Chains A and B, each alone.
Chain A
Amino acid sequence: MAANPQTIPYRRIYVWELPVRLYHWINALCILLLCISGYLIGNPQKIFAANEAYQQYWFGWVRFTHFAVAYVFVFNFIFRIYWGFVGNRYAKWDRFILYRWDQWKELWDTVLVDVLQARVYGRKIIGHNNLAGFSYFVLFHIFLLQTITGFALYSSMSDAFLPRLFTWIVPLLGGDAWVRQWHHLFMWFFIVFTVIHLYLVFYHDYFEGRGTTSSIIGGWKFERDDNIKR
């Protein structure tokens, strides 16, 4: 391929601050561990079945992992909410809660360009586009539901303050069996979300070429100078 004679100026923008990146990766690790351990709790696999009970505690450890990681997940999430008020403009709460009309118009723009592909070119947003922001807003509610149902299930085994706050959820949902059922179904939301999330990383990185993937590791994004409104 011939060298392009025209020089195109790019700017680099520090988008994801270190706390946001840390939150992201701790969250990703937690969700991975929670999904694996949670799935195993729901469907225990036949492993080490030849041993005697006194020789092992593997299922106990799987459950312990689930409970311990759940606490990390919850406090990490609480930290992220806090950072939504003190972080930079790309981490702010108004990236997720669309309260202005132009945010919804931009969301529709993203639907047309990226989802339906009715148009080839679209506006380029530096941080989350508004469709992504809205998806995370929905996701945060699933986090919340998963936290509530999780603590409700845990409350019968714990005297700790936090889980005891959620005992009333159990009769509300029709007993532990139903809390468990919803908790189990929400796990699949995380799996479906992860599949889409990973695909969109590939999609945006390839079609837009501005360092989407590496931005969550180093924090930097690259944008053509003429796309930046200052």
Chain B
Amino acid sequence: MKKKIPSIEQSMQAKGYSRRDFLYFCGVAAAAAGLSTTSLGQVVKAFETKPRPPVVWLHFQECTCCSESFIRSTHPIVADIIFDTLSLDYTETLMAPAGHQAEKSRDDTIKNNQGKYILLVEGSVPLGNPGFCMIGGKSAEQILKDAAAGAAAVVAWGSCASHGCVQSAKPNPTQATPIHKIIGKPVINVPGCPPIAEVMTAIVTHVLLFGKIPELDSQGRPKEFYSRRVHDTCYRRPYYDAGLFVESWDDDAARKGYCLYKMGCRGPVTYNACAVTKWNGNLSYPIQSGHGCIGCSEAGFWDNGPFYQHLGAFPGFGIESTADKVGTVATVATVGGIALHAITSNIRKQKLIRENMEESVTVHPFKGEGGADVEAAEAAKPEETKGGDE
């Protein structure tokens, strides 16, 4: 028997929240989704009428840091989105049922809410051997495909689900694959290891409010949070423009909080909201605590060489060969080749050089000037050249 899904307001009332709490929640949700105060009315209306969407949260090859980040959303009422207002029907980490009951709960949600539930996926899927990740006797790939087929929206939490992350590092033994390469529908990629809790809740809120996915960039990331580089929003940016850099971890510049660019900070090549929303209740973010960004929300960050230098391994030239090393070797080899060529040319082309020398004519410093025909010039104007330098 199919139950009628209550609206968000109804489910909040059932839990004992007052109308005031509900309106407060609407305001926070609107702010999290980046709406202006004038559209608050729409938010209230949506939450009064829209049924509370069921959520299926799948875990595959991951470390659960995305879940850990999410449940630490600092604003208590924002964290409540998932626990109180969303119907979190299946998530391995937090759900009440276990074993067959858990599997049934997931299957029921999918079956009874076709086209209505939100699918949140944490972790990459191994395509190499299904045995690397099996849950309840089904392969990760099969679970994902089954769950994605009827989902209203699919969100890829973290770098695992978005890009593959560390388990897909070369040579990627399990063939860990990001989910957008497996399912044939649009996926909201929320990269980061983990993503910022406030970003995660804001994206869920957006889907909840508007019933559609937020505006995405070419890599499937919400533009709202991933359109700017950490570098461009970093509070240490003025030191970069002034050319003041930390040279080593224990120098005076590090103490003064100068730019960490020379310490391999990935801020200039990383798109994320860390410097804006910050972490742990807007307290700090890696650069603020004195360590460079490692670019955890960028595809391939795990294979981009040491975290403390910009130019790491270069394909085909060994692990420690930077572009500068390759270039210097090439330049030195070229100079060597040129020196050799210059020497052999002078030996090999001696005959040519001799012939060129023979072709050369001796010209009197003054007599020779002004005309090709030296003899003729001398004959025509003998008085002009008299009393020359000799």
Complexed CA–CA distance, A203 and B37 (Å): 74
Chain A interface residue bracket vs B: 35 or more
Q: With A3-B361, A157-B232, A188-B326 given, is the CB distance from A44 to B262 under 8 Å? A: yes
A2 interface residue (CB < 8 Å to B): yes
A12-20, A76-84, A168-176 - interface stretch: A168-176
Q: Is the CB of A174 within 8 A of B244?
A: no
* Dominant secondary structure at the B interface: helix
Chain B nearest CB: distance from A183 CB in Å?
Answer: 9
Q: Is the CB of B348 within 8 A of A207?
A: no
Q: Is the CB of B242 within 8 A of A177?
A: no
Q: Is the CB of B324 within 8 A of A1?
A: no
* Dominant secondary structure at the A interface: helix
Which among B244, B331, B335, B360 has the highest number of chain A CB atoms within 10 Å? B244
Q: Is the CB of A185 within 8 A of B242?
A: no
Complexed CA–CA distance, A62 and B240 (Å): 11
Complexed CA–CA distance, A173 and B314 (Å): 13
Complexed CA–CA distance, A77 and B87 (Å): 60
Q: Is the CB of A117 within 8 A of B314?
A: no
B62-70, B71-79, B172-180, B351-359 - interface stretch: B351-359
Contact of A56 among B243, B304, B323, B344 (CB under 8 A): B243
Q: With A1-B362, A59-B240, A59-B242 given, is the CB distance from A195 to B327 under 8 Å? A: no
Contacts of A57 in B (CB 8 A): 241-242
Q: Is the CB of A120 within 8 A of B351?
A: yes
Q: What mask results when residues 1 to 12 of chain A are scored 1 for a CB within 8 Å of chain B, else 0?
A: 111100010000
Known interface pairs A176-B270, A178-B300; 14 further A-B residue pairs with C-beta atoms within 8 A, sorted by A's residue number: A48-B243, A56-B242, A57-B242, A59-B243, A60-B242, A115-B341, A156-B232, A174-B299, A180-B269, A181-B311, A191-B331, A195-B334, A196-B338, A199-B341
Q: Which residues of B contact A (CB under 8 A)?
A: 218-219, 229, 232, 238-245, 247, 253, 261-262, 266, 268-271, 295, 298-301, 304, 310-311, 314, 323-324, 326-328, 330-331, 334-335, 338, 341-342, 344-345, 348-349, 351-353, 356-362
A-B contact pairs, 16 of them (CB 8 A): A1-B362, A4-B361, A44-B245, A47-B243, A49-B253, A52-B242, A63-B241, A117-B349, A157-B232, A167-B218, A175-B299, A177-B295, A191-B331, A195-B334, A195-B338, A207-B356
